[in-house]
Amino acid sequence: MKVALLTGGGDCPGLNAVIRAVVRTIHNAGGECIGLLEGWRGAITGNHIPLKAIDTDEIIARGGTILGSSRTNPYKDPTNVQKLVDTFAKLELSALVAIGGDDTLGVAMRLYEERKLPVVGVPKTIDNDLSCTDFTFGFDTSINIVMEAADRLKTTAESHRRIMVIETMGRDAGWIACFAGIATAADFTLVPEQEVNLDQMCDVLKQRRADGKAYGLIIVSEGAKLPREGLVTSSAEIDDFGHVRLGGVGQAIADEIKRRTGIETRATTLGHMQRGGPPSAYDRVLATRLGIHAARLVINGQFGHMVALRGLQIVHVPLSEAVGTLRTLDLEFMREAEEFSK
């Protein structure tokens, strides 16, 4: 049994923990693993490295991915799909474990359905926006990074009697902003799933100031839409999967707060800080469990599936059920957050 692994899309803490777990579980079953480098690009070119259990034992604590990643989409050029299929034959692979978000897993599903390639998917993203799984690894680390940043920004905001606006990642889903908002006692949280109510937000900020609170904290998700301008983008470029680069809404919100309340306001965009560094304990455990179960699917010949977290159990679902539908924020969490924004 020879199993290839790849990591595609934006990286996130915990990818190396999955790699370690797959490699160890396949090793225990008498098989061997290789790593295709830089996502689907490595599957197209055949660029790969050996992955031995002994060499991957320590990588659980390391952020990023030892395999590199890219947003390469083989389906942009049909000749690349054939090259990918050829790589499979040339390397004599028994299976491929694709670790990625909706785009990467969408490619995995098509390869399984259209080319009958034996693939298994592992969901990852800091955005926590994948269907059929309760949480994705990377998310917990990410909200802890936002929390730590907010704790620091609050003390300087308090000294200067300022309002701080923190812009988080998350693309079209507000999970990171909402959970970080609850964890940091934000005065107001803005997410893509809800209309941004600037009047209400500024009323809350003015009231808090009148009540004696020396600073303010707003968390805004990069995908939150401004009432008039809509989505704020930081680049006109789109990637292989058709996504624009978001960013800038935090500064726009800060300017608006200053204009409406007269209170000095600053914006901080946390950006890729939220994806870097070592994974939290929760993410290491979740990623390890998903890796073990993905390897077990390979060993049992159950292809075309993705492993997922349901409650406390690791289950598996057909890739066709899991991909294609963004799992936006469950607004029940916003109702809870809003108890503190009145």
SS3 of residue 124 by DSSP = strand
Q: State in angstroms the smallest separation of the CB of 1 from ligand F6P.
A: 32
Distances 68 to 36, 41, 166 between C-alpha atoms, Å: 9, 10, 29
225 or 275: CB nearest ligand F6P: 275
CB of 7 within 8 A of CB of 67? yes
Name which position in 171, 225, 284, 305 contacts ligand F6P (CB under 6 A): 171
Name which position in 6, 126, 150, 299 contacts ligand F6P (CB under 6 A): 126
125 or 144: CB nearest ligand F6P: 125
Q: Is 170 near ligand F6P (CB under 6 A)?
A: yes
Q: Is 246 near ligand F6P (CB under 6 A)?
A: yes
Strands (E) located in 114-260: 119-123, 163-168, 188-190, 216-221, 233-238, 244-246
Q: Is 135 near ligand F6P (CB under 6 A)?
A: no
95 or 180: CB nearest ligand F6P: 180
C-alpha–C-alpha distance, residues 305 and 15, integer Å: 18
161 or 272: CB nearest ligand F6P: 272
Measured torsion, CA atoms of residues 241, 170, 120, 41, in degrees rounded to the nearest 10: 40
11, 102, 103, 127: the active-site residue: 127
Count, residues near ligand F6P per rule CB under 6 A: 11
Name which position in 206, 245, 258, 260 contacts ligand F6P (CB under 6 A): 245
SS3 of residue 149 by DSSP = helix
Q: Is 123 near ligand F6P (CB under 6 A)?
A: no
Q: 159: closest CA among 201, 214, 220? A: 214
Distances 153 to 213, 217, 267 between C-alpha atoms, Å: 15, 9, 10
Buried residues in 140-150 as b, exposed as e (16+ CB within 10 A): bbbbbbbbebb
Q: Is 125 near ligand F6P (CB under 6 A)?
A: yes
Q: Which stretch binds ligand F6P (CB under 6 A): 49-57, 72-80, 163-171, 190-198?
A: 163-171
80 or 104: CB nearest ligand F6P: 104
Question: Please, which residues bridge with residue 217 across strands?
Answer: 164
Name which position in 98, 108, 164, 169 contacts ligand F6P (CB under 6 A): 169
Whether 11 is catalytic: no
Q: Is 10 near ligand F6P (CB under 6 A)?
A: yes
Q: Is 275 near ligand F6P (CB under 6 A)?
A: yes
Q: 261: closest CA among 186, 200, 220, 202? A: 202
Q: Is 269 near ligand F6P (CB under 6 A)?
A: no
Q: What is the DSSP string of 23-74?
A: HHHHHHTT-EEEEESTTHHHHHH--EEEE-HHHHTTGGG--S-TT------G
Q: Is 260 near ligand F6P (CB under 6 A)?
A: no
Q: State in angstroms the smallest separation of the CB of 121 from ligand F6P.
A: 16
201 or 246: CB nearest ligand F6P: 246
Measured torsion, CA atoms of residues 20, 25, 27, 29, in degrees rounded to the nearest 10: -170
Residues 6+ apart with CB under 8 A from 191: 174, 177, 178, 221, 223, 224, 329, 334
15 or 33: CB nearest ligand F6P: 15
Q: State in angstroms the smallest separation of the CB of 143 from ligand F6P.
A: 12
Q: State in angstroms the smallest separation of the CB of 152 from ligand F6P.
A: 21
- Catalogue the active-site residues: 127
| Binding positions for ligand F6P, rule: CB under 6 A | 10, 125-127, 169-171, 222, 245-246, 275
